[in-house]
Chain A
């Protein structure tokens, strides 16, 4: 068990290192560099360009620069944004908080809903309720986020007028203000992954319902409700936990689109802006943060599944 956790943690660190290398190499491969992007038209003047490169240390070898960058990273220093000319930590920090507010709201509302619906649908397999919900889920899964976002804005903001179409809060607004701005973006974000988790839970519950131990419980005379609660659900939900973690991590890719669609001041919109501004150090930092979140989400899900699974928990090494 202990060795297993240690192994997972080690693998997570190696993954992060690989991500850092890939991000760095990716940015290196792009035509031009930070200075050509920053100077824009001024870059044709060689002495200005060279001056800038000297100032930013771009004349050193790529390997040298990678280790300098990675060394700073290890100390929590993400570098300095060129466009905004401020430490990246200060730019990213509050926006990361905003994104987390959005993501956590989406997850807290969505995951229990997805699991609950998945179980309910599975227990009413092939009946009208199942067919309606499962088909809706399939449709929701296939709709791109920007379509969902547009539809929701159209319905709730324009036709019904229940909320503002876009978020007007500043990036440093108080958490509560932002929380009130989250419903539409959160629903958009949640819709796709709720559908995913629902379908997964449904098939897992149906599989488990066919297991011998369910039949055995029935043969013991256990009432049906208790069979579902004690025998079916613990064994059906368990295998879905790592996949739920993965789905939630994958939700981050949706953040970029959803935040842009709703003008939500989070890290996803920042990423889009950073790319538009060709603020390469910022792009690097954000990509790395996405990687970090992805890796830690899957790690947490794995560890949670391990802690809940007696088979893994009590394995002797």
Chain B
């Protein structure tokens, strides 16, 4: 029986009627699983919310409809819609930390999901809540309900959110990026739990994610969305191994994979903003296989081997392989290291007056006794989960948080612990690129002004020299000279991060420190930023300390890797060796968490 049927659903912005979701059609039977993949802004979350009859303010349904168990969600009363939500269709939100009400105890929030539907007799609610907490494997299930959301960890909050969605045994579970923002090992645990619950209850699932690995583990079928259109809808195994739509292929190829070394290829250009796509196929402007027929919008039509595709010129060939870099040069390993960190200890909390009076002991240091070296021209990856101390080491080298003990040297000379104590040359030689360019670039400055600052500060460059250098920097990060006059808000996320890189390289540094620079970016954009960092460092002989939580990203880019766990380096060595033959159990669990992903893994993309 059809549980969910979406027919020609179009959702548009209320003002200019630019469509966010365009003529989407989907069907899902009871117990089936479907993944929706795509990059930010492709309309996947809007589509998912619509499956619950929710359209965010500012958007309207301008065509088509959604039916759940035969009921048209657009045609039933608000009360009927309310009775449906949580009881028939339930949602696991993207970020449980934001989706749990901060002023309510988590037990009460789970109980509320039952009481508003009168699903359980009131006297049984408590017992049922405890049972649910036990089922999602929360510790102390009988007591954890008394906690507030902020007293739980990220993974625990996600488990509470899952428990909340399961209260009424829904027929359809919607998952919006269910593991984004969680550590890889936590992520693996949540995915295991979701898979297990699905097998036990037989509920259907629709999961939205930008992470193909997540979809591969949870769903039997995946629909790929691009600029509001569903472009390919295939069984997961087929999509992973032989995607046919050029966009789906490019998307699959841009995912870094630990088992195939090298930088993944990226997609040139950027997706059209809503309402700005041309009359023909939306992907045509970025597509390498454009033919005359692409001036017409392709229909989503069935494939012989199962699934659907919207393309006039599908590609059946093998996926583009990663670009394999040359082996690290031996000479890079020798010689004086540019940066040498010895026995670094960093502590965040200073003993407060009260703690000192009470003679309370300090918490364990965030970084305890880390030593590492960075050779000239080398890209060193620091990888670990949140709280492992990887960003703290970067902050200590950057002088943003002085170490409690240990030394940091630059070319053999001691580097002062505080950035304010460093002279101009020392500042110039070590540059930082932060995770979030939205926050690290001044929104009121144009790109030209952003780039001019380091040029004036470090080189006393005059106006003509600033202009010339700014132009060549913009060119080096593969942006257009026209971008010089834009402000950060007028740039896409990838473009902003390029500007941040250009600003760092403007100082002609010897070392750049990259703090999770790609974690806020889409995979295809991430691929291009990784390639850029690689090229810039190699062309200029700049050393790079690359901090990331994703070991596959580190493996793709870095010459050497150091794995951090609870403030200590547990394993270090050439990237390829560490990733193919990990020694330490923690490294193995990190790799296992991303590696285990597709159990349907076939050939082609994974074993190039």
User: Pick the contact of A314 from B54, B117, B148 — CB < 8 Å?
Assistant: B148
Q: Which of A33-41, A141-149, A194-202, A211-219 lies at the interface with chain B? A: A211-219
A235-B102, A235-B103, A238-B103 given; A219·B112 CB < 8 A: no
The main secondary structure of chain A at its interface with chain B is helix
Fill in one digit per residue for B427-455: 1 if any A CB lies within 8 Å of its CB, else 0: 00000000000000000000000000000
Q: Does B384 contact A (CB under 8 A)?
A: no
Residue of A with least CB distance to B355: A317
Residue of B with least CB distance to A211: B98
User: Pick the contact of B54 from A215, A231, A235 — CB < 8 Å?
Assistant: A215
Fill in one digit per residue for A210-236: 1 if any B CB lies within 8 Å of its CB, else 0: 011101111111110010001100110
A3-B354, A223-B116, A311-B148 given; A218·B85 CB < 8 A: yes
Interface set, chain B 42-101, CB cutoff 8 A to A: 52, 54, 82-87, 90-91, 93-95, 98-101
Residues of A within 8 A of B94 (CB): 212
Q: Does A31 contact B (CB under 8 A)?
A: no
Q: How far is the CA of A211 from the CA of B99 in the complex (A)?
A: 8
**B207, chain A: closest CB distance, angstroms:** 15
Residues of B within 8 A of A317 (CB): 354
**B14, chain A: closest CB distance, angstroms:** 13
Q: How far is the CA of A30 from the CA of B576 in the complex (A)?
A: 79
Residue of B with least CB distance to A232: B101
Residue of B with least CB distance to A316: B151
**B500, chain A: closest CB distance, angstroms:** 28
A221 near B83 with CB under 8 A, answer: yes
User: Pick the contact of A212 from B93, B151, B164 — CB < 8 Å?
Assistant: B93
Residues of B within 8 A of A219 (CB): 52, 54, 85-86, 90-91, 93
**A114, chain B: closest CB distance, angstroms:** 21
Q: How far is the CA of A221 from the CA of B86 in the complex (A)?
A: 5
Residues of A within 8 A of B113 (CB): 220-222
Q: How far is the CA of A140 from the CA of B468 in the complex (A)?
A: 57
Q: How many residues of A contact B (CB 8 A)?
A: 25
Residues of B within 8 A of A230 (CB): 101, 104, 112
**B209, chain A: closest CB distance, angstroms:** 17
A231 near B82 with CB under 8 A, answer: no
B116 near A222 with CB under 8 A, answer: yes
Q: How far is the CA of A310 from the CA of B113 in the complex (A)?
A: 21
Q: Does B296 contact A (CB under 8 A)?
A: no
Residue of B with least CB distance to A313: B148
Residues of B within 8 A of A223 (CB): 82, 116
Q: Does B608 contact A (CB under 8 A)?
A: no
B116 near A221 with CB under 8 A, answer: yes
User: Pick the contact of A220 from B103, B148, B164 — CB < 8 Å?
Assistant: B164
Q: How far is the CA of A223 from the CA of B100 in the complex (A)?
A: 17
A235 near B101 with CB under 8 A, answer: yes
Residue of B with least CB distance to A311: B150
A310 near B85 with CB under 8 A, answer: no
B85 near A234 with CB under 8 A, answer: no
Residues of B within 8 A of A3 (CB): 352, 354
Q: How far is the CA of A311 from the CA of B148 in the complex (A)?
A: 8
Interface set, chain B 283-332, CB cutoff 8 A to A: none
User: Pick the contact of A213 from B91, B98, B150, B151 — CB < 8 Å?
Assistant: B98
Fill in one digit per residue for B103-116: 1 if any A CB lies within 8 Å of its CB, else 0: 11000000011001
Fill in one digit per residue for A156-175: 1 if any B CB lies within 8 Å of its CB, else 0: 00000000000000000000
**A270, chain B: closest CB distance, angstroms:** 41
**B102, chain A: closest CB distance, angstroms:** 6
Fill in one digit per residue for A284-317: 1 if any B CB lies within 8 Å of its CB, else 0: 0000000000000000000000000111001001
B84 near A213 with CB under 8 A, answer: no
Q: How far is the CA of A221 from the CA of B148 in the complex (A)?
A: 21
**B363, chain A: closest CB distance, angstroms:** 11
Residue of A with least CB distance to B52: A219
Residues of A within 8 A of B117 (CB): 221
Fill in one digit per residue for B193-232: 1 if any A CB lies within 8 Å of its CB, else 0: 0000000000000000000000000000000000000000
B112 near A234 with CB under 8 A, answer: no
B103 near A234 with CB under 8 A, answer: yes
B54 near A222 with CB under 8 A, answer: no
Residues of A within 8 A of B112 (CB): 217, 220, 222, 226, 230
User: Pick the contact of A231 from B52, B85, B104, B354 — CB < 8 Å?
Assistant: B104
Most chain-B Cβ atoms within 10 A of its Cβ — which of A213, A218, A222, A231? A213
Q: How far is the CA of A299 from the CA of B288 in the complex (A)?
A: 66
**A106, chain B: closest CB distance, angstroms:** 29
**A246, chain B: closest CB distance, angstroms:** 22
A221 near B85 with CB under 8 A, answer: yes
A310 near B150 with CB under 8 A, answer: yes
A311 near B91 with CB under 8 A, answer: no
Interface CB pairs A-B, < 8 A, 19 = A3-B354, A211-B98, A212-B94, A213-B99, A213-B100, A215-B99, A216-B100, A219-B54, A219-B86, A220-B113, A220-B164, A221-B83, A222-B86, A230-B104, A231-B104, A235-B103, A309-B103, A311-B148, A314-B150
10 residue pairs, one from A and one from B, having the closest CB atoms: A221-B86, A212-B98, A216-B99, A221-B85, A234-B103, A220-B86, A213-B101, A219-B91, A310-B148, A220-B113
Knowing that A219-B90, A223-B82 touch, tell me 17 more A-B residue pairs with CB under 8 angstroms. A3-B352, A211-B98, A213-B99, A216-B99, A216-B161, A218-B85, A220-B164, A221-B82, A221-B84, A223-B116, A226-B112, A226-B116, A310-B102, A310-B148, A310-B150, A311-B148, A317-B354
Instruction: Give residues in B with beta carbon < 8 Å to A.
Output: 52, 54, 82-87, 90-91, 93-95, 98-104, 112-113, 116-117, 148, 150-151, 161, 164, 352, 354
